[in-house]
């Protein structure tokens, strides 16, 4: 069984084709800068010995449909293709950012589902319309394949209401669905499952804190295998410090910016989402650059690291209080998986919570999935590489075949 996973953005389509018997990736790639003259399509075929065969097509001016058609041509190319005909694709799994309160699990897409995803557009005005474009295009290019929506928000739908209701007038929740939703759910769910496998314990018995630290960043508190709190809110702006997003700030700051600096709503939106976070403090949003500069004694880069890891420590403390007992703390995402410095800073002086890191294990580049806490420690600290595409492929298979 072959499943195509698609992640459609407003100007990009990322894709991976899986063989679900082996769970191997057969091909992966991305069409980017859609709608511009400088559009580019990068397509990689996985060759048996673990090497990649890469094709890059540049200076394309394509829309989403043409992008998907090109991708299909490359997948079925007689010389380098990985399938002979597009009908070999049994199902298509779509990442959909906002499922609101309607979707608590992946679902086969029909016109009713499309309507409901569209209804959630006010909650994700940039993402849901792009996801719907990808769905429409894939439905027409692969008419025989069931299309499945896998929602970023679904894993967090188990939050108890005291964790998702904001202290705003209650009718804003009742009538306008203003509440905490949380994002990165597919990643939090995937690493929680991998951790349970690694620890050889049922997920339903585990209390976990998962830290997804990528360009965007979020944490989840997982009790007996179910998500009970998460740091992102109505939108992905709340919570941790991110590459360019503020995370938590005093909600009165936007009024100050409007009243004293005459900023418009759009300007404030841009400032909080695109000009803040690590970039706002030290000018760089890429954590590798921030770390390099901090090592060279750049004061603002050091401050950015301090603010970034201090926020995470506060959330760890809060989530231990929420959970009562913690079995494992899990790092994932580009930063969580690759930066021993950040992991060490997040866990520094947390032995009062039984959280400790073994410096050698933290610095070693052994197995990608590994324990970095000392042997015998009460709280296991793990590094678990995330794989959202594989999780979407698995969920798609489960919905389509029932297994």
- Which amino acids are annotated catalytic? 152
Query: Residue 114, Cβ neighbours under 10 Å: how many?
Result: 16
In the bound state with ligand ADP, the residue whose beta carbon lies nearer, of 374 and 385, is 385
Q: DSSP letter at 143?
A: T
Among 102, 121, 177, 215, binds ligand ADP (CB under 6 A): 215
Rg of the chain, C-alpha, whole Å? 22
In the bound state with ligand ADP, the residue whose beta carbon lies nearer, of 187 and 371, is 187
The CB-of-202 to ligand ADP minimum distance in angstroms stands at: 28
In the bound state with ligand ADP, the residue whose beta carbon lies nearer, of 317 and 334, is 334
Among 75, 228, 335, 384, binds ligand ADP (CB under 6 A): 335
Q: Measured between alpha carbons, how far is 241 from 216 in angstroms, rounded to an integer?
A: 9
Tell me, by CB under 6 A, how many residues bind ligand ADP: 13
Query: Residue 101, Cβ neighbours under 10 Å: how many?
Result: 14
**Binding window for ligand ADP (CB under 6 A); candidates: 103-111, 218-226, 259-267, 327-335:** 327-335
In the bound state with ligand ADP, the residue whose beta carbon lies nearer, of 66 and 286, is 286
Contact 230, 218 (CB under 8 A): yes
Q: With binding defined as CB under 6 A, does residue 239 bind ligand ADP?
A: no
Tell me the three state secondary structure of residue 213.
Answer: strand
Among 338, 362, 371, 396, binds ligand ADP (CB under 6 A): 338
Q: Measured between alpha carbons, how far is 209 from 184 in angstroms, rounded to an integer?
A: 14
Contact 381, 329 (CB under 8 A): yes
The site string for ligand ADP over 216-235 (x = CB under 6 A, - otherwise) reads x-------------------
Q: With binding defined as CB under 6 A, does residue 317 bind ligand ADP?
A: no
Q: With binding defined as CB under 6 A, does residue 385 bind ligand ADP?
A: no
Structure tokens at 375: 């042997």
Q: Measured between alpha carbons, how far is 360 from 372 in angstroms, rounded to an integer?
A: 8
In the bound state with ligand ADP, the residue whose beta carbon lies nearer, of 203 and 287, is 287
Tokens 């439905």, residue located: 139
The CB-of-336 to ligand ADP minimum distance in angstroms stands at: 8
Q: Measured between alpha carbons, how far is 258 from 98 in angstroms, rounded to an integer?
A: 29
Largest CA distance in the chain: 63
In the bound state with ligand ADP, the residue whose beta carbon lies nearer, of 124 and 399, is 124
Q: Which of residues 270-289 bind ligand ADP (CB under 6 A)?
A: 286-288
The Cβ-side half-sphere exposure at 80, using a 13 Å CA radius, reads 14
H/E stretch holding 212 reads strand 208-213
Q: With binding defined as CB under 6 A, does residue 7 bind ligand ADP?
A: no
Q: Measured between alpha carbons, how far is 277 from 308 in angstroms, rounded to an integer?
A: 8
The CB-of-140 to ligand ADP minimum distance in angstroms stands at: 28
Q: Minimal CA–CA distance to 35: which of 1, 63, 67, 72?
A: 63
β-bridge mates for residue 350, sequence order: none
**Binding window for ligand ADP (CB under 6 A); candidates: 13-21, 41-49, 112-120, 329-337:** 329-337
Q: Minimal CA–CA distance to 8: which of 81, 85, 117?
A: 117
**Binding window for ligand ADP (CB under 6 A); candidates: 81-89, 128-136, 335-343, 350-358:** 335-343
Q: With binding defined as CB under 6 A, does residue 344 bind ligand ADP?
A: no
In the bound state with ligand ADP, the residue whose beta carbon lies nearer, of 29 and 327, is 29
Tell me the residue nearest to ligand ADP as measured from the CB.
334
* Residues within the interface to ligand ADP (CB under 6 A): 214-216, 243, 286-288, 291, 333-335, 338-339
């Amino acid at each position: 069984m072959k499943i195509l996973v698609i992640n459609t953005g407003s100007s990009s389509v990322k894709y991976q084709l899986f063989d679900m018997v082996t769970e191997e990736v057969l091909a992966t790639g991305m069409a980017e800068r859609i709608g511009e003259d400088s559009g580019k399509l990068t397509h990689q075929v996985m060759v048996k010995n673990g090497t990649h065969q890469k094709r890059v097509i540049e200076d394309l001016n394509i829309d989403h449909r043409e992008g998907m058609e090109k991708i299909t041509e490359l997948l079925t190319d007689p010389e380098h293709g990985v399938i002979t005909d597009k009908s070999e694709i049994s199902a298509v799994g779509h990442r959909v950012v906002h499922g609101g309160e309607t979707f608590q699990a992946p679902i086969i897409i029909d016109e009713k589902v499309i309507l409901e995803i569209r209804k959630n557009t006010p909650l994700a005005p940039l993402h849901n319309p792009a996801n719907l474009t990808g769905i429409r295009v894939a439905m027409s290019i692969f008419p025989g394949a069931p299309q499945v929506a896998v929602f970023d928000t679904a894993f967090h739908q188990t939050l108890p209401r005291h964790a998702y209701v904001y202290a705003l007038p209650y009718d804003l929740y009742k009538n306008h669905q203003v509440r905490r939703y949380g994002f990165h759910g597919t990643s939090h769910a995937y690493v929680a499952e991998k951790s349970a496998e690694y620890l050889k314990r049922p997920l339903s018995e585990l209390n976990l804190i998962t830290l997804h630290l990528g360009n965007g960043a979020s944490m989840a508190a997982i009790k007996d295998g179910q998500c009970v709190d998460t740091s992102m809110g109505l939108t992905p702006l709340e919570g941790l410090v991110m590459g360019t997003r503020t995370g938590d700030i005093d909600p009165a700051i936007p009024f100050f910016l409007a009243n004293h600096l005459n900023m418009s709503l759009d300007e404030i939106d841009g400032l909080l989402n695109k000009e803040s976070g690590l970039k706002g403090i030290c000018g760089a949003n890429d954590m590798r650059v921030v770390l390099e500069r901090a090592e060279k004694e750049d004061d603002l880069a050091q401050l950015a690291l301090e603010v970034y890891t201090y926020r995470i420590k506060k959330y760890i403390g809060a989530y231990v209080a929420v959970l009562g007992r913690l079995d494992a703390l899990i790092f994932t995402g580009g930063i969580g998986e690759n930066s021993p410095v950040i992991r060490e800073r997040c866990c520094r002086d947390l032995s009062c919570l039984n959280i400790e890191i073994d410096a050698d294990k933290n610095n070693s580049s052994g197995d990608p999935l590994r324990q970095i806490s000392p042997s015998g420690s009460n709280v296991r600290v793990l590094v678990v590489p995330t794989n959202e595409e594989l999780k979407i492929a698995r969920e798609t298979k489960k919905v389509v075949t029932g297994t």
